Amino acid sequence: MAFVITSPCIKERAADCMDVCPVDCISLGADQYYIDSDICIDCGACESACPVEAIYHEDEVPEGEIEYIQKAKSFFEMCD
């Protein structure tokens, strides 16, 4: 399980999440930040820090944002 960054990040990209992540598992992609689910330790710090409430636990992603779970997985697969 991991946290997931959803659509509000695309316009904001505030980067507050990167500043608070204790394991440095957040990376900037072409249009938004992404969390590497293989490294995330589920601490929740990024969720609280995000100014646009773009970050959810994987189990709590709103229905209209579900695609962002796969979008993050695809991003890190491309990086491998």
CB of 18 to ligand SF4, least distance (A): 9
Cα–Cα distance between 56 and 40 in angstroms, integer?
13
Smallest distance from the beta carbon of 75 to ligand SF4, in angstroms? 14
Distance CA 71, CA 43 (A): 21
Show contacts with ligand SF4 in window 9-68 (CB under 6 A): 20-23, 25-26, 35, 40-46
- Beta-carbon count within 10 A of 31 CB: 12
The residues binding ligand SF4 (CB under 6 A) are 3, 20-23, 25-26, 35, 40-46
